[in-house]
Structure 1
Amino acid sequence: MFKKVVALLALIVLVVSLAGCGAPKSQQGSGDASPEPAAQAKVVKIANYFPPEHPQNVALREKFKPLLEEKTNGAFKVEIYDNNQLGSEKEVIDGVRMGTIEMAIVGLLQADQFPKLKIPEMPYLFRDYDHAMKVLNGPIGKELTEGLIEAGDRPLAWNVNGMRVVSNSKHPINSINDTKDIKLRVPTNSTFVEGLGALGFNTVTMPMTELFTALQQKIVDGQENPAPTLLTSGWYEVQKYVAITNHIIGPNMFIISEKFYQSLSPEQQKIFEEVAQETAAYEVDLMKKFEPQSIETLKQKGLEITYPDLKPFQEAVQTAYDKWYQKWPEFKDIIERIRNTQ
């Protein structure tokens, strides 16, 4: 009996030993022989101030994110932070410069530091989207962004916020004579204050985050932004009239943190540049389609749409241009080259 018990115990020890030898090495604790764990994808945060359904964010979801992740073989994972989730435009630009935010789509807030960036937002400068993109994505665009790389945010591509129109809750704008008594919110930007002031509006600067409440409480009568922004931001709920003034083609820039950019390999840098440019072009195409759809939707929601004669508007802003030429004489040559671009 004793011999049978010993034999049984020996058999159990043998089975356990064989099971241990057959287990995967990664489960045996022999770290030196374990395969290297898969490298984790680097998160790329891209921030902007647009609502989720704006063409900017549609383009990021449909084009930028899948393209970048595919072309880098999963080395990067794109996270989109829309609607000021990571802060105001200034806070986002500061984050990009410090390297805490990898990328962003921004307007031209940096014009206070780099005055040439004021030029693309001067009223009635560009004839249409194609004209604007040819200028901004060419040598003149590079000239306008000089200094940004040194500041810490490298521009990769230009695209558009849309043709800016004027909405208000007071009365329809059928001509330039109807602007005089409208208190109009504009961005905190001297180009907008002076340009829209030259059109006769009583301009008031305030952050976009305060705009809905200001319109609702009649602190201001109206605002000026592209029709898609008016629609997707919900401001149409507290507005009655929209004038298709098309006074500015609102340009936006894809920017990347210079610190992050320099951490990339040359091959990766090229991929980021190409994907940003492809996404920017895609967004412009989306905007061309979405803009007339937005105007039609605003009409269906009960807003009155007017199409004033734009020639008097174009003539009126000349006083603002004269003021800008006195302050920045070098602007005149750049603006003439822009207008002569075919």
Structure 2
Amino acid sequence: MRLTLRLAGIVLAAGFFSPALAQTELKFGHVGEPGSLFEASANKFAEIANAKLGDKAKVVVYGSSQLGGDDELLQKLKLGTVDFALPSTVMSSVVPAFGVFEMPYLVKDRDHMKRIEQEIVWPTLAPAAEEKGYKILAVWENGFRQITNNKHPINTPEDLQGIKLRVPKGVWRVKMFQSYGANPTPMAFSEVFVALQTGVIDGQENPLAQIASAKFQEVQKYLSMTGHVYTPAYVVVGKNKFGKLDADVQKALEDAARETQAFVYEKAAELDRDLAKVIEDAGVKVNEVDKDAFIKASQPVYDEFAKEVSGGKDLIDKALALGKSS
């Protein structure tokens, strides 16, 4: 009798606490370090989403590649072991058309990017990603990319001759830097600091927010403000698993992701203004570059993309046309 009562008490206790225990954890993995734009963006999204979700589910953010690098996170989205990721360049390895954002100096500013989002991302790129099993909830930002290295300041493409430069996975970034004469090496972001520190590579290219938060200024001598590529970042979920969530949870997450974009762009602009000085104050020499020389040297990459990627020329022409009113 005493055992029966004890078991009944355990069952009642379990029933009493089950709502809290049953709350679904939605894992958001990204590669950004503390202080990065990715961290700020993902945390803001979690704040907005969790306010909308109440006790239905909870978004929990895992940064610093805790759940894997970009490739691994994309795999985990399909497996359903991660719920959100924030890929950028790597999306061109999923759908070649995303490589349009690898074209140097294509995106002029964030207003231009907003037009590209509405006219190209949602009608063309997002459906192509869904065919591969990925659903894009929102377009955020990685940013305008700059070059750091330990050899010398980069003023023109010729200054990149022979530089061992880490790039993210994506065929067009490799082709671009090869055309400039560099020796580009795809590498996971989490491996870059040690590779720079040990001299395995001479330099890398990233937005200032990624450079500063990863403390590359501690192992680099020169920062050249090339602004060679603007990379969006995408809030991506696995299509199958996301589709199994309750409709109201799906809507709350989609709304939160899109509402976060204004914060992302404002924060990104703030970091662009402030971080060059932070990096310079750490002892890194900062220089402007001859952008006209880089633009001229970039034409072969445009030509190859237009030739190799189905619909590539139309994507380029449309994106460039959308920039004329910026």
Q: Which residue of 2 aligns with 1:50?
A: 32
> Cα offset for 1:147?
3.0
> Cα offset for 1:239?
0.5
Q: Which residue of 2 aligns with 1:139?
A: 119
Q: What is the rounded CA distance, in whole Å, between the counterparts of 2:32 and 2:11 in structure 1?
A: 48
Q: Which residue of 2 aligns with 1:164?
A: 145
**Would you say 1:339 and 2:289 are equivalent positions?**
no
Per-residue CA deviations over 1:262-303 (Å, capped at 9, x if unaligned) read 222333222111100111331121011012211110111111
- TM-score norm. by structure 1 comes to 0.85
Q: What is the rounded CA distance, in whole Å, between the counterparts of 1:313 and 1:108 in structure 2?
A: 20
Change (3 A) 1:27 1:188: closer
2:142 aligned counterpart, secondary structure: strand
1:196-275 maps to which residues of 2 (within 5 A)? 196-275=177-256
The 10-residue stretch of structure 1 (161-170 or 111-120) with the greater mean CA deviation from structure 2: 111-120
AA in 1 matched with 2:167: V
1:289-304 maps to which residues of 2 (within 5 A)? 289-304=270-285
Instruction: Name structure 1 gaps, 5 residues minimum.
Output: 1-25
Task: Answer yes or no: is the 8 Å Cα contact 1:159–1:280 preserved in 2.
Answer: yes
Q: Which residue of 2 aligns with 1:59?
A: 41
- TM-score norm. by structure 2 comes to 0.89
> Cα offset for 1:139?
3.4
The 10-residue stretch of structure 1 (101-110 or 142-151) with the greater mean CA deviation from structure 2: 142-151
Task: Answer yes or no: is the 8 Å Cα contact 1:176–1:308 preserved in 2.
Answer: no
AA in 2 matched with 1:312: A
Q: What is the rounded CA distance, in whole Å, between the counterparts of 2:134 and 2:296 in structure 1?
A: 36
> Cα offset for 1:320?
1.4
The 10-residue stretch of structure 1 (145-154 or 278-287) with the greater mean CA deviation from structure 2: 145-154
Change (3 A) 1:180 1:289: same
**Would you say 1:323 and 2:312 are equivalent positions?**
no
Q: Which residue of 1 aligns with 2:3?
A: none
Per-residue CA deviations over 1:55-80 (Å, capped at 9, x if unaligned) read 2211222x222221211222111211
AA in 2 matched with 1:47: G
Task: Answer yes or no: is the 8 Å Cα contact 1:168–1:221 preserved in 2.
Answer: yes
1:106 aligned counterpart, secondary structure: coil
Q: Which residue of 1 aligns with 2:88?
A: 107
> Cα offset for 1:112?
2.4
How large is the RMSD of aligned CA atoms in angstroms? 2.3
Q: What is the rounded CA distance, in whole Å, between the counterparts of 1:194 and 1:241 in structure 2?
A: 23
Q: What is the rounded CA distance, in whole Å, between the counterparts of 1:69 and 1:209 in structure 2?
A: 28
AA in 2 matched with 1:214: A
1:314 aligned counterpart, secondary structure: helix
Identity of aligned residues (%): 28
Q: Which residue of 1 aligns with 2:69?
A: 88
Q: What is the rounded CA distance, in whole Å, between the counterparts of 2:193 and 2:229 in structure 1?
A: 21
> Cα offset for 1:314?
0.6
Change (3 A) 1:35 1:238: closer
Runs of 4+ more than 6 Å apart: none
> Cα offset for 1:316?
0.7
Task: Answer yes or no: is the 8 Å Cα contact 1:117–1:145 preserved in 2.
Answer: no
Q: What is the rounded CA distance, in whole Å, between the counterparts of 2:193 and 2:103 in structure 1?
A: 25
Change (3 A) 1:293 1:36: same
> Cα offset for 1:103?
1.1
AA in 2 matched with 1:292: R
AA in 1 matched with 2:135: R
Q: What is the rounded CA distance, in whole Å, between the counterparts of 1:280 and 1:299 in structure 2?
A: 29
**Would you say 1:308 and 2:289 are equivalent positions?**
yes
Change (3 A) 1:30 1:139: same
Instruction: Name structure 2 gaps, 5 residues minimum.
Output: 1-5
**Would you say 1:152 and 2:133 are equivalent positions?**
yes
Q: 1:186 is matched with which residue: 138, 150, 167?
A: 167
> Cα offset for 1:52?
2.1
Q: What is the rounded CA distance, in whole Å, between the counterparts of 2:23 and 2:314 in structure 1?
A: 47
Q: What is the rounded CA distance, in whole Å, between the counterparts of 2:169 and 2:49 in structure 1?
A: 34
